[in-house]
Structure 1
Amino acid sequence: MASVTKVLLVEDDPEIGRIVRDHLQREGYAVTWASSGVEGWEDFQAQPFDIALIDLMLPEMDGFALCKHVRLTSDVPLLIMSARHEDEAKVRGLGVGADDYVTKPFSLTELSARITSHMRRYRRFLQKDGEAVEDASRCKYEGGLSVDFEKKEVQLNGESISLTPKELGLLILLAGHPHRLFTKQELYEHIWGQADLEGNSTVTVHVKSLRGKLKDNKRDSRFIQTVWGSGYRFIGDQTT
């Protein structure tokens, strides 16, 4: 028996949100409806979804930021629904990881067709790359660090390290995108789920604690490098 497709709908307009939710539920989808970007990001982290439908003009965290955060941790199809017709918005949306863009008003029939099309391609992708993803779930690095991205387990020189959820989230995100520079604001928005410009000191404190548990000297780092005035990047050298 086929599993029910789980849809995350992020739409702050109550009328549009209700219409889309009710239509998709009649089509047999399981729909979770969030009315803000922060709520949508919290929902996405709380449970697995097969596809996300995201409006751009959202309170607390806009759709561009939400798409970027989702894409950093997942390959699920992202479909933007927006009243913005200009090419700049479409290009930016696709640039932060969205797979498709539909402008309001749109027909519910077209929306269903696009969801079906994206889900068909996504399931083929999962079937094709499932074994490769499983084999690549654990990575080992010079210096004795081992990270299992699937099981969320971290070891140093063969011994398990006890990390707080925030510390683990920071390490998984940084190590999952080696050599990519993350600003403190990006890390705070992604890990704490809040669009808050005042979170820099919070990030600094947690990175310092994480480094201590990894025995990673700040001045001669093997794993997490500080880019002064910008943020942090993971520089661990992966071993076979």
Structure 2
Amino acid sequence: MNQILLIEDDQEIAKIIQHTLTNDGYNVTWATTGLEGLADFKAARFDLVLVDWMLPEMDGLQVIEHIRLESDIPVIMISARNTEVDKVTGLADADDYLAKPFSLEELKARVRAQLKRWYRYNHLTLPQNIQHFSNGLTIHWQEQLVYLNEAEVNVTQKEYDLLKLFAQHPLELFTKEALYQHIWQQADMDQLHTVTVHIKALREKLGDPVKNPHFIQTVWGKGYRFIGEPL
């Protein structure tokens, strides 16, 4: 049974979609806010995501951006915004765009089409479980273990999550806001110092100096990026 994540704050629309897709043989998890949907996505495996554009706490575009950091599964944006500019914007990261109001038959057809395309054409290869970087860093992805010069580094879960996000997206610039939303799944931007504290602790454990870093580089005024060289 395919697992579908529905992120929609309109209860009437969400219940209709959930009922329709459930009757069509799918298992549907329903979230009512962007942050709730992102938390659900991180907590379970899904085959497709349906996400509304206008959501509380985090809008659909932001939700898709965070999903794309971890997965290429099909994402269909559903929205009352139906101008050409809106559709082009929504399709920047989404695979399909369904403008409200839409028929339930069209919804089912698009879901089937995206799942069929995903399974037929996406020949995925599993990432290597162990990845080595220059300057002695080794990460065991499945076991969530970090080694420096063959000695295990005792990192917290949040520190590991940060390192994983950085290492799996080398040279990509992450703002503190993006890191806080993605790792802590919170909308309160008053706690951004938490990001700074955890990155500082992670750097100390990796022996990674701020001025001449091997792994995590600070881009002043913008954020952080991973510069470790894979072996």
Among residues 6, 9, 33, which one is paired with 1:9 in the alignment? 6
**Residue 61 of structure 1 contacts residue 194 of structure 1 at CA under 8 Å; is this kept in 2?**
no
Among residues 187, 194, 203, which one is paired with 2:179 in the alignment? 187
Kindly indicate whether residue 81 of structure 2 is the aligned counterpart of residue 89 of structure 1. Answer: no
Using the TM superposition, give the Cα deviation of residue 137 of structure 1 relative to its aligned residue in structure 2, in angstroms: 4.1
Distance 2:136 2:121 in 1: 33
Aligned residue in 2 for 1:42 = 39
Using the TM superposition, give the Cα deviation of residue 198 of structure 1 relative to its aligned residue in structure 2, in angstroms: 1.9
Distance 2:115 2:142 in 1: 22
Among residues 50, 53, 57, which one is paired with 1:53 in the alignment? 50
Structure 2 counterparts to residues 159-198 of structure 1, below 5 A: 159-198=151-190
Q: What code does the residue aligned with 1:55 have? A: D
Aligned residue in 2 for 1:114 = 110
Structure 1 length-normalised TM: 0.92
1:33-91 per-position Cα deviation (integer Å, ceiling 9, x unaligned):
00000100110111111110000000011101000001111111110000001222222
Using the TM superposition, give the Cα deviation of residue 219 of structure 1 relative to its aligned residue in structure 2, in angstroms: 1.4
Tell me whether 161-170 or 47-56 shows the greater mean CA deviation: 161-170
Q: What code does the residue aligned with 2:47 have? A: D
Distance 2:90 2:144 in 1: 30
**Residue 185 of structure 1 contacts residue 196 of structure 1 at CA under 8 Å; is this kept in 2?**
no
Q: What code does the residue aligned with 2:160 have? A: L
Q: What code does the residue aligned with 2:86 have? A: A
Identity %: 48
Aligned residue in 1 for 2:124 = 129
- Indicate the SS of the match to 2:107: helix
Structure 1: runs of 5+ lacking an equivalent: none
Distance 2:41 2:64 in 1: 11
- In structure 2, relative to structure 1, the CA distance for the partners of 1:174 and 1:125 (3 Å cut) is farther
**Residue 51 of structure 1 contacts residue 76 of structure 1 at CA under 8 Å; is this kept in 2?**
yes
Using the TM superposition, give the Cα deviation of residue 194 of structure 1 relative to its aligned residue in structure 2, in angstroms: 1.6
Distance 2:29 2:223 in 1: 34
Structure 2 length-normalised TM: 0.95
Q: CA RMSD in A?
A: 1.3
- Indicate the SS of the match to 1:124: helix
Distance 2:119 2:96 in 1: 17
1:101-155 per-position Cα deviation (integer Å, ceiling 9, x unaligned):
00001111111111111111211345x223xx24x34321101111233443322
Q: What code does the residue aligned with 2:163 have? A: L
Structure 2: runs of 5+ lacking an equivalent: none
Using the TM superposition, give the Cα deviation of residue 24 of structure 1 relative to its aligned residue in structure 2, in angstroms: 0.6
Q: What code does the residue aligned with 2:131 have? A: C
Distance 2:151 2:87 in 1: 47
Using the TM superposition, give the Cα deviation of residue 166 of structure 1 relative to its aligned residue in structure 2, in angstroms: 1.1
Q: What code does the residue aligned with 2:220 have? A: W
Distance 1:233 1:202 in 2: 17
Distance 1:125 1:169 in 2: 30
**Residue 56 of structure 1 contacts residue 82 of structure 1 at CA under 8 Å; is this kept in 2?**
yes
Among residues 24, 29, 33, which one is paired with 2:26 in the alignment? 29
